[in-house]
Amino acid sequence: MTRQPSVRSTPRLDRLWRAGQAFLGVELPIMCGAMTWISEPGLVSLMSELGAFGVLAAGNMPPAQLAAQIDETRRLTARPFGANIIVIAPNYQAHLDVVCEKRLGHMFFAGSIPRQSEVRRAKESGAKVVCFASTDSIARRMIDYGADALVLEGSEAGGHIGHVSTTVLLQEILFRFDDVPIFIAGGIADGRMIGHLCLMGAAGAQLGTRFVVAEECSAHARFKDAFMKARSREAIATPQYSSKLPVVAVRALHNRAMEDFGRLQLELLEKIQHGRITRPAAQYEVEHFWVGSLRRAAVDGEIETGSLMAGQSVGLVGRIQPLREILQQLVDEADLAVTAAERRLQGKRVPNAPAAVQDRD
């Protein structure tokens, strides 16, 4: 393992995101969100090596594979990283066992609300626990359960999403809770947004779509190319056709896979109505569809029949860059935003600068 020099923060940013730095144990409290088939040891370890924070995506992989990925990431970096486990995944309990046994420093519970006993077990293993909160009541419950930090992920995000936008979550949770560090996700691709979020009180930010187009990201070239050509409005959320089959909305670029999912819902609803499948089994079929569909796109490059899960920030990415360059750009933009805010408070005019991430080849 060759340790790489990290991207450096700035004194101005250090004053704002000190809590995030301390919680994650990194120079830059910028997290790469856990993306199934994409957030693998190579990308995760490089994020951490460069001074940010990588998170492995457990998805529903075999437990032995998750254990191997943790070991491989540790071989590649001695710096902090985390693992994201999905509460509604069939392998969830086995994943919790693995991460506790590996005594990983940070554990993320996603997909639903973990039990208090599960949060306690994670903490007893030595992990700092991070939970997602989509409402103020969930935020309070997770803090009461013992969560050490929260992630507010707005509906602008890619993949499985909640129903509330980032701007509303800021007002509902960030402005009202100061018990634990709070990180913001959903629709973020520009460092200036990170700077302004930290001015509002955020401890840092989580990005996903922005890092898919990193040079070192293992996603298929056609998958990345689709991101670079897409506009924000083309990343749409799937509808739920009936309460008889509750599904978590998925945001992705519109293609044939989105239409296939609509047909799958109708087929499953008909089977539920005639008693040919139970609702839990139908929900499992839905998740099985997305896991396989995402693999076809991200790994195999089948961009029509595979799922192109992307956040609305996809319209802000336009070129492939080395991960170091992306992180440096985010830091530079965040510092620029904070500097501009200070000048505005002094009554000085600050011209808007063009966003480098919007450049499209």
More confident residue, 178 or 4: 178
pLDDT above 70 as % of the chain: 96
CATH code of the region 11-219+316-357: 3.20.20.70
The pLDDT score that the predictor gives to residue 329 is 97
C-alpha to C-alpha distance for 25 and 33, rounded to whole angstroms = 17
Q: What is the pLDDT of residue 359?
A: 52
Average pLDDT rounded to a whole number, residues 202-217: 97
The domain locations on the chain are: 11-219+316-357, 229-313
Residue 11 has pLDDT above 70, yes or no: yes
Confidence band, pLDDT 50/70/90 cuts, at residue 353: low
Give the pLDDT confidence score for residue 183 in this predicted structure.
98
pLDDT at 291: 84
**Locate tokens 């839905």: which residue?**
286
pLDDT tens sequence across 340-352:
999 999 888 877 7
For residue 248, the model assigns a pLDDT of 85
Q: What is the pLDDT of residues 13-66, one digit of tens each?
A: 999 999 999 999 999 999 999 999 999 999 999 999 999 999 999 988 999 999
- What is the reported pLDDT for 361? 46
Instruction: Choose among 76, 125, 136, 120: nearest CA to 102.
Output: 125
User: Are 164 and 178 spatial neighbours (Cβ–Cβ below 8 Å)?
Assistant: no
pLDDT tier at 150, thresholds 50, 70, 90: very high
Which residue, among 82, 55, 74, 77, has the nearest Cα to 4 in the 3D structure?
77
Mean pLDDT of 317-327: 95
Q: Output the pLDDT for position 3.
A: 64
Contact (Cβ atoms closer than 8 angstroms) between residue 82 and residue 47: no
The predicted-structure confidence for 276-317, as pLDDT tens digits, reads as follows: 999 989 988 988 888 889 999 999 999 999 999 999 999 999
Q: Write down the mean pLDDT value for the chain.
A: 93
Q: How many alpha carbons fall within 13 Å on the CB side of residue 227?
A: 33
Q: How many CA atoms lie within 13 A of 14 on its CB side?
A: 6
Q: Do residues 261 and 289 lie in contact, with contact meaning Cβ atoms separated by under 8 Å? A: yes
Give residues with Cβ within 8 angstroms of 136, minimum separation 6.
172, 173, 176, 177
